[in-house]
Each structure stands twice: as C-alpha cells, then as structure tokens.
Structure 1
Amino acid sequence: MFTKKTVFVVGAGGSFEVGLPVGSTLKTRIAEKLDVRASGSFEGNPAIVRAVASAAKETSSFGGAVNRLVGAAQAIRGAMPLAISIDNYLNTHSHDSDVVMMGKFGITACILDAEANSTLREYDAAYNMDFANIPDSWHNTFCKMLTENVRLGDLETVFENVAIITFNYDRCIEHYLLTWLIKYMRIPYGEAAEICKRLPIFHPYGQVGLLPWQTTSGSGVRFGEPPTEYNIRQISSQIRTFTERVDDDDMLSAMRDYLSEAERVIFLGFSFGKMNMDLMRTGRDGPRKDVLGTVLQMSNPNKAEADHRIRTTLTGADSGWLVTGMELSSVAANELLNNYWYRLSD
C-alpha cells in the first residue's frame, strides 16, 4: 500500500507491456485504417467508411462531404511518416475540422482493435482474463504493491494516496484493476467497480469511451469492443486534441492539484514531450517530491533534458528545488516498480 501521496504518469510505453502499440506503430496503423477511397466506389475499412457516410449525411452535400473527409484521410495517411505523433499532427491542423474528425476516427478504430488483441482481452462475458498466460506487466506489480498487507475489509482505502495521469486513449489500467480485484480479492463485479471508482485517473486527451462499470447505466464501451459506425462516431467525440483538452479547465485544475500535492511522482513509459509536460505544469509549489521514471532507449542528452523538464513542471520555477530525489532508469515500467518496491511502499 502506498503511504505517501503518489501520482503515476503513464505514457505509451506503459500500455506496450500488455501489447498495445507505441506512437510509431500507432501512426502506421492509423494510416492503414484511413486508407479510404471515393473514386468509382467508396472503399476502405468498413467501420470507418460507414462512419464517414453517417457524418456526411448530416451535411447539406453528401458527396461533397464524403470527398472532403476522404481527402482529409489521405492527407493524414501521407503525413504519418513525418509526424512526431498523431496528437502532434492533429494539434498542428486543429483548424481543419475534417482532418480532426478523420484523425479521431482512425485513433478510435486502432485503439479498440489494439485492446481486443492485447494480452488483457477477456475470454468470456464475465470479465474473466487468463492471468496465467498474461506476461507480467507493471499493472500486476502495481496491484500487488497497492494491496500489500491490506486485509479484505480495508480494501476501500487502497486508493487514498494514489492518482494516475495517463496520456493513452486505451482503458488498460481501469480494465486490469477491475479484473485483478475480482480475481484476487474474490469479490463480485459490482463491489470491485465501486472500489475502482475511488481511483482518481485522468486522461488529458480523452479515451475510447467509458467502460460499462464507469457509467450509471452500464451502457459504456466494453474493453476491445469491435469498431462500428456507431461507436466510432460516439467515441471519437470523446477524443481530444491538445487544444481541445487545454480548454477543459476543471479536469486540468484537478490533475495539477494532485501533482502539486504529490510527495512522489512516477513516470512509466512516458516520453517527456514538451507539449505534455507543459500541460501538467503546476505553476505552484507543494511538498518536496521524490521522482522516479523510465527512460528506456533514451540518449544521455535527452535524459538530461527530461530531468530539466520534470523539475520545471513539478516546481513552478526553473530551479526545480522541490525535487529532492530524481532517478531516471533505463528500464521498462514493470522493472522500475520491482526495483524500487521497498522504497515506494515505505
């Protein structure tokens, strides 16, 4: 159990451990999904084609709208090899509603497919996963640390000192937590769901829909649900570009409050991109902070810059004086948590 106020910041490398794509692979898959054409016949990924047709029907000119959206899809396809990430590309072209819509369609279809093909996929409708055949990941280590020395009757308190900021669109963290608690703690779905709802978790760029247990009606989007015309259109409206998410003042304020008040911040599979670091910048002081992070395959000059960006983000001043301990390790997320288990559970 975590005794100090701890915030986990999770990037694509965190989901990579359970089989989801990192940014470079995601760009390629989005380009493949957006291979739609309107010359002679309207062809391409069936779900995206139907989503485009549905969106076009709501305009004054169906044919003109289809041509614009197909053109936007082709523009994204051509630019993906040049882009830092799909997020950066959509931020650059945030003025073009057609590009933004098609980018979100591509993201939605790719992430739902990636969830369905991940190691966390369910094998039945009762939220059962084959844990014995899931390669160990930081999700499992996190749950073990979270519940160390915790009796079943005290389970409702496990998230009291923890918050998570994830820059991923997937719901791997939420899905894993729920199924882990059901299996290990031997509690029913409803009880596990109520406990999971206590965890503050922020998706600055949105997510591919709320899971059923996260909604009051239970009509959310299941983990790895097949992309359809309906859910692509519905879910894509919940994806946010950098500009759109900056406008969500309530979410950003709450997220920054947790970071400001944290005594420990842990970066897992995160790239420390300037756009994302700026988004988290607290602009105010708080308690002194102990920082851990993964910098797998990162060059020494980039590690040094990551160190500087962390201190600036968490302190509200370039001096970074509030960061009293900083250890950036060239390991994957799960190895980092295992290496520092004693320190984190102190």
Structure 2
Amino acid sequence: MFTQKTLMILGAGASKEAHLPTGDELKTRISNVLRVQDNKDFYRTKSVSNDLIMEALRHASQTATDSKVAMKLYTDAAAHISRAIPLIRSIDEFLNSHNESKETELVGKLAIVHQILDAERRSLMFEKHPTVQLDFNKLTGTWYNRMAALLFNCSLTELPTKLEALTAIVFNYDRCFEHFMLNAIKEFYRIPEGEAAKLVRLIKIYHPYGTVGSLPSMGVNSANPSPFGGDVTGGQLLELSKGIKTFTEGVDPDSSEIKAIREAVKSATTIVCLGFGFIPLNMDLLRPNMFALPTTAKKTYYATAVGLSDPDTNLIRADLIDLCPASEVETYLDNKLYCADLFREYARSLSLG
C-alpha cells in the first residue's frame, strides 16, 4: 500500500469509527430534523421544526415569485422526506428517486449539511478551540491511526511519493479523512499547518456527492470554506447546500469529477473499501466504461462488509471482480471485519502493496 497506485473507497462505516452516523442513523436524524409543525397563526401555516433549516428556507423563498407559495412547497417537501425516508436505504437514493422535485432536493441538501456539521461537532475529531491539537489518543483502535502507522513509516522527504500514489473516493459528506490527514501529518512530522495542507493536496480526493464545504486550510480558491464542525447561519447553510450533489449531478461529466473517479478505479493496483455499502447506485458511479481496458494487469481488493449476509457477501465479491476486469484479481472481502480490523488483519499485506 502506498508504493503502488492505491485507491481507498470510503463509505459511512469508515466515518462511523470517528462516531459519525451510518446511513441508517443519518436517515433517522434527517427525518427528525425535518418534522413539520403547525404554526399558531390565523393562516394555519406550517414550518419545519428546526429553526436553522427554517431560516435557510426563508432565504431561499425570497428569490421566488411568490414567497408564501414557495415556503409551502418547501414545508410540504420537508414533511414528505420526514415521513418517507425510512422506506429507502439512503438519503442519496431518496434524492435520486425524487430528482424531479427541486423543493425536495433543496430541503434534503439543507438537512444533510445541518446534520453532517452537527455530527462533525460530536465526533472524536472535533476540538472546540481551534488552537487545541487533535487528540489522537481518542482515535486509538480506529482505522485512521492504523492507516497512519502504514503511511508514516518513512521520512518527510519520502512522504510525497506515497501521497501521490494515493487516491480517496469518499462517499461521505463529512471531511473526516481530510481533517485527519491534515492534523496527523502536521503533528507527526512537526510541520506548519500550511505545509501539511500542501502535502494533503497531493492525495487525489473525490467526493462524488459533494461535501459540507472545504476546510479553510485545504480550500484553494474555495467560495465556501467551512471549519470542521463549524457553526453556521441560515444563509450560510443555504450556501453550503450548493456543495451537495445528487447522483445525477455526481455523474454529469460537465459538472463533476466522474471521469477522474472512474479512471482511478481503472488504474489502481490496490483498492481498499472501508465501510462502503456496495449499493447499485454507487457501484454504477464507480464503474469505468465497459469498453475501457484496465491499465493494470492485477488488482487486489480489500473490503469490509459488516452487516451483509454470507450470500450477499459472495455476490459483492463477484461485483468487485466485474467492476473493472483485470487479468488477475484477488479479493479479500469479510463481513466480520470492521474498518480497523481490516488494517490489523492485513497489515503486512497492505504495507507491502
């Protein structure tokens, strides 16, 4: 790992080890935050129970021809999401299924940003004061520290070569991976934050569904810098929601990084899937053009599959082999290993990769 082209595919289970929500937990939180309540006014209007999201919707409705009509459409969309989201696997799939409704899309994106920023604040990686260093003892036993142990067994001058060989496709909206890498490199090699940020930027990091903003230290000409777990106003929440993408937006070659994502899948020698759900929507997003030839003769997959049955795990194994054909494919897929366990189980194999 890190000596040849390595691709990490991160799902909600990866961030879970830092105490962020899984897909099911995020659905529940979004359902709760979008509950609609009756206002005690003459017109019997309704509003979203969360004040910050309601403030953001008021900002959005001001640009509409009729703000009252727009607000009713938004609150109806919120009520629908709150009631119906338990019926599908993820918020991504929900928004994709209702991509004809701009109101549903906006309300869903606002709820995502609100809940992910809140989850970052509650995570093991959050420090209330910006001057306080991240406490890596909190992350003992997580895949983050175990990955760092494989990555940092070199001098600072050797580190750029390893980072340039690494690509991360992050299906999460949070910035845990970037935040960890920035702070870990800064602390381990005792270098300024700006220098650490330059090194992290050597890693090719893609968020197919967007993020809740760029970390201030990492953003290059970013219009939406957003501190990890930062507090926002309703107007800022509305602005940050523009950084969230639906599946349709994520695969649009003119407005996304889909070509680079699929090229990374095609060219990687080692692919590590952590906490990734393997749902068809996301597998389709990763899949290179069926006529494109792989640029490597051998591919090795290491993947967690906690929560999947043995029959489904076997199906996923076949899906991985078919994802990007190579002359030789090895798959190490285990439905009993969490992300940290995978790095422990295959530590030597990954360090030699």
Shorter-chain TM range is over 0.9
Q: CA-to-partner distance for each residue in 1:135-184, whole Å, 9 max, x for gaps?
A: 43111111221121x11233332312110111000000000001111111
The structural deviation recorded for 1:215 is: 2.0
**2-side partners of 1:234 and 1:323: how far apart?**
46
The structural deviation recorded for 1:297 is: 2.5
> Structure 2 vs 1, CA of residues 217 and 88 (structure 1 numbering), >3 Å: closer, same or farther?
closer
**2-side partners of 1:84 and 1:322: how far apart?**
34
Alignment of 1:175-190 (within 5 A): 175-190=179-194
> Is 1:193 the equivalent of 2:197?
yes
Query: Which amino acid in 2 is paired with 1:12?
Result: A
> Structure 2 vs 1, CA of residues 189 and 328 (structure 1 numbering), >3 Å: closer, same or farther?
same
- Unaligned 5+ segments in structure 2 are 42-46
User: In structure 2, what is the equivalent of residue 173 of structure 1?
Assistant: 177
> Is 1:222 the equivalent of 2:232?
no
| 1:119–1:134 Cα contact (<8 Å) kept | yes
Which residue among 251, 261, 267 is the counterpart of 1:255? 261
User: In structure 1, what is the equivalent of residue 307 of structure 2?
Assistant: 297
Query: Which amino acid in 2 is paired with 1:267?
Result: C
Alignment of 1:56-95 (within 5 A): 56-95=61-100
Q: TM-score, with normalisation over the residues of structure 1?
A: 0.94
Query: Which amino acid in 1 is paired with 2:56?
Result: A
The structural deviation recorded for 1:111 is: 0.3
- Unaligned 5+ segments in structure 1 are 316-320
Over 6 Å off, 4+ runs: none
> Structure 2 vs 1, CA of residues 323 and 334 (structure 1 numbering), >3 Å: closer, same or farther?
farther
**1-side partners of 2:221 and 2:269: how far apart?**
36
User: In structure 2, what is the equivalent of residue 21 of structure 1?
Assistant: 21
| 2:299–2:328 Cα contact (<8 Å) kept | yes
What root-mean-square deviation, in Å, do the aligned CA atoms of Structure 1 and Structure 2 show? 1.7
**1-side partners of 2:307 and 2:104: how far apart?**
32
Structure 1, 246-255 or 87-96: larger mean CA deviation: 246-255
**2-side partners of 1:226 and 1:17: how far apart?**
23
The structural deviation recorded for 1:98 is: 0.3
> Is 1:275 the equivalent of 2:281?
yes
User: In structure 2, what is the equivalent of residue 265 of structure 1?
Assistant: 271
The structural deviation recorded for 1:324 is: 2.0
Percent of residue pairs identical:
34
| 2:48–2:75 Cα contact (<8 Å) kept | no
Query: Which amino acid in 2 is paired with 1:122?
Result: E
Which residue among 211, 218, 223 is the counterpart of 2:215? 211
Count of residue pairs brought into register by the alignment: 340
> Is 1:110 the equivalent of 2:115?
yes
Question: For 1:345, what is the secondary structure of its paired residue?
Answer: helix
**2-side partners of 1:310 and 1:345: how far apart?**
22
> Structure 2 vs 1, CA of residues 187 and 275 (structure 1 numbering), >3 Å: closer, same or farther?
same
